[in-house]
Structure 1
Amino acid sequence: MSKVKVAVIGCGSISRFRHVPEYADHPNVELVAFVDLVPERAQLFADKYGAKAYTDYKEMLKIEKPDAVSVNLPNVLHAPVSIDVANAGAHVLVEKPMATTTEEGLAMIEAAKKNNVFLMVGHNQRLMPPHVKAKEILETGALGKVLTFRTSFGHPGPEGWSVDGRNSWFFNKEEAIMGAMGDLGVHKSDLIRYLLSDEVSEVGAFIGTQHKEGTEVDDNATCLLRMKSGAIGSLVASWTYYKGEDNSTVLWCENGVMKIGTHPDDQVIVELRNGTVEKYKVGAISTNDKQETSGVIDAFIDSIVSGNPPSISGEEGLKSLQVILAAFESQATGQIIKL
């Protein structure tokens, strides 16, 4: 079969560490184009992979006619560029948060449907081995119902990750719209929905800029969630975990507790009320310091090749985004927001 022709729009860190190497490793992919406003960044990838470099994505879409495109841009550009890509007849893989408003998200879903292409959102947490294992265990029913939970994602901030360091778009409110919540919080709203096979029904939140000077975007958020099933829990996103990253989830259930990402070697630990302890070494959760294969690219290309819609669809991405938007509304109004 002929290879899937892929273009990458935006050549920052997420492209460098995740998308591009994973595309390059995929036997069914041909990297045809790279787009970045900084010509050298696109050129570097183009030279390495025998592709073309562009500064204008619209020109690239016209000339290259790619089959699929990764949209790895500042949050505010996710919707307009994804819609243009879909209208050009290419499948879209957009980084999270998929958009900055519900209206944008719906317009993206509509554009993909209209053009008969897939829209997938890069919620890699679902594909990390510890989370896949945790969901498997939950689905056996051994732990019974999830009653309460906490899920958190924090690291020292994007200045250590982004190609532009402290000058990154992540800190620019016009481009980012949201800070730690768009970067990390939306990963956790997506994860908790996935693990519990449940939807969030109510959100309360404290969101603010605690420590990052010179920026108007949030660097910390602590949220309370109630799920449709009645389970309640907390969701935390932070850019001020200066001592190191935390990406962990604990679920307290009828028959015991499940700890995910709390131990360096045993990524999933199940402690049952009857005294049984099960420990699973299933592979690490990727961190900024230690990159693991995200699984996102494989899932995206497999969807295109098989013709089966991606499980992390635009609709899924939108539901996870709406939790975060509700949290901002709660912070703004001082109210609990119903979804």
Structure 2
Amino acid sequence: MLDMKLGIIGLGGWVTTGHLPALTDLGIKVDYCADIDEKRVKDLSQKTGCKGYLDYKEMLRNENPDLVLVAVPHSLHASIALDAINNDANVYVEKPMATSFQEALTLVEASRKRNKVLVVGHENRFNPAMLIAKKLIRSGEVGKIYHMRGFYIRQRGIPTSPTFIKKDLAKGGAVFDIGTHIVDLLLFLSDFPMPKSVTGKTYSAFSDDKTKFSVYPSPNLPNFKVEVEDFGSAFLNLGDEITAYMEVSWASYIKENKMEVTILGDKGGVHIENGILNFMRNIADEYFISTPSTQPQRGSVYREVWRTVMDSISKGFPEYPLCSAEQGAIGVAILESIYKSALEGREVKIDIPQWLLKQSQLVS
């Protein structure tokens, strides 16, 4: 592993339950941390020995970390990541990398100008089922992809943290929170075709019943209210004669939680549900189904993510299967278009610069 100074900005749940155990397992030291919550800073400083700050700008200015993990509310991802890049740091920013396409482009341009590695936290790519699906598609066994489907549906999973449900902090609800995973997987598995247009719809079906439709504890806050959507769906025209449908929900009347991706090709089909892959094809005129993978422990996924992040920084570019800045920006363009389509009640065209698309395909 590289000897570099690592700083973490934002010390919420995913940092403590996902990133930190992986960093510890790999022997990667956390040197600095920053959060506006003094208790979080104190707790992590005592646990890891890192130097804590309540002001991330002070941390950047005083310590000049080589690598920064940005894990803050969605609305702050882009601005804090940009500050870190401009402070000459490589950056691992949680998804979505930004809440507007223009913000995402600014990040891409800044990282390219300063020759810094910028990766986006789409760890679901590292699920063995997704990697096997990618190999099957690249080998030609699936044939020409013509349609894809993606679902991320919860029964009772409306977040109760203000960072997810307050409009000014989150900017959006289920589409930004979990829809970003589905959009990224659809693009990743299809080698980043050129998105053409989106027709989207969002709903706030259970916002008034947030405690009834959540397994998370309700915070003791005045005027606690869900201000963002809990459901979103979209039909995507991805160009190259590929279409896709996606559906995401924090809460819904379904049998069980599920995360599901289906890839339909003219030679075979791939179906992944909750980490289990099935590959369907014809062999000697018989319909054949194989199931070659199982769901890994979450910790092992994060270990692989961080191992690849460190390798990428040593080489100076994002290594497969990490999500590059360019790829993350295309995902944001689609997410932004879903919201625009839902707001205006019409199909929305997507205009992706050719240079951005070409760069996104280099590490897909």
Query: Superposition pairs for residues 192-203 of structure 1, below 5 Å?
Result: 192-197=186-191, 198-203=193-198
Contact 1:222 1:235 in 2 (8 A): yes
Contact 1:223 1:235 in 2 (8 A): yes
Matched, 1:272 2:281: yes
Matched, 1:157 2:157: yes
Summarize the Cα distance change of 1:199–1:190 in structure 2 as closer, same or farther, 3 Å threshold.
farther
- Aligned residue for 1:92, secondary structure, equals strand
Contact 1:180 1:238 in 2 (8 A): yes
Partner of 2:117: 118
Partner of 1:13: 13
Partner of 1:184: 178
Structure 1 window deviating more from structure 2 (225-234 vs 171-180): it is 225-234
Amino acid aligned to 2:122: H
Amino acid aligned to 1:293: V
Give deviations 1:222-251, integer Å, cap 9, x for gaps: 111122121222111110047543111112
Matched, 1:284 2:295: yes
Contact 2:158 2:251 in 1 (8 A): no
Partner of 2:222: none
Amino acid aligned to 2:167: K
Contact 1:76 1:174 in 2 (8 A): yes
- Aligned residue for 1:308, secondary structure, equals coil
Structure 1 window deviating more from structure 2 (191-200 vs 241-250): it is 241-250
**Per-residue deviation, 1:158:** 5.0
Contact 2:126 2:301 in 1 (8 A): no
- Aligned residue for 2:206, secondary structure, equals coil
Q: Distance in 1 between matches of 2:147 and 2:309?
A: 33
Structure 1 window deviating more from structure 2 (247-256 vs 49-58): it is 247-256
Amino acid aligned to 2:20: V
Structure 1 window deviating more from structure 2 (299-308 vs 75-84): it is 299-308
Give deviations 1:85-126, integer Å, cap 9, x for gaps: 111111111111111111111111222223221111111122
Partner of 1:168: 162
Partner of 2:81: 82
Q: Distance in 2 between matches of 1:85 and 1:209?
A: 35
Amino acid aligned to 1:201: K
**Per-residue deviation, 1:285:** 6.0
Q: Distance in 1 between matches of 2:40 and 2:3?
A: 25
Structure 1: gaps of 5 or more residues: 160-165
Give deviations 1:121-166, integer Å, cap 9, x for gaps: 111122211111101011111221222221111233353xxxxxx2
Query: Superposition pairs for residues 210-229 of structure 1, below 5 Å?
Result: 210-213=205-208, 214-229=225-240
Q: Distance in 1 between matches of 2:164 and 2:87?
A: 28
Give deviations 1:2-52, integer Å, cap 9, x for gaps: 62211110000111122222222224x321011111111122111111111
Contact 1:8 1:72 in 2 (8 A): yes
Partner of 1:146: 145
Structure 1 window deviating more from structure 2 (44-53 vs 248-257): it is 248-257
Contact 1:143 1:256 in 2 (8 A): yes
Q: Distance in 2 between matches of 1:285 and 1:240?
A: 25
Amino acid aligned to 2:61: K
- Aligned residue for 2:279, secondary structure, equals strand
Q: 2:301 aligns with which of 290, 293, 312?
A: 293
Q: Distance in 1 between matches of 2:2 and 2:329?
A: 32
Structure 1 window deviating more from structure 2 (251-260 vs 329-338): it is 251-260
Q: Distance in 2 between matches of 1:245 and 1:6?
A: 35
**Per-residue deviation, 1:57:** 0.4
Q: Distance in 2 between matches of 1:116 and 1:291?
A: 30
- Aligned residue for 2:196, secondary structure, equals strand
Partner of 1:205: 200
Q: Percent identity?
A: 29
- Aligned residue for 2:80, secondary structure, equals helix
TM-score normalised over the length of structure 2: 0.84
Q: Distance in 1 between matches of 2:188 and 2:2?
A: 33
Partner of 1:328: 339
Partner of 1:163: none
How many residues matched?
Answer: 325
Q: 1:256 aligns with which of 268, 274, 283?
A: 268
Q: 1:317 aligns with which of 300, 323, 328?
A: 328
Structure 1 window deviating more from structure 2 (30-39 vs 293-302): it is 293-302
Q: Distance in 2 between matches of 1:68 and 1:158?
A: 32
Q: Distance in 2 between matches of 1:73 and 1:94?
A: 9
**Per-residue deviation, 1:304:** 1.0
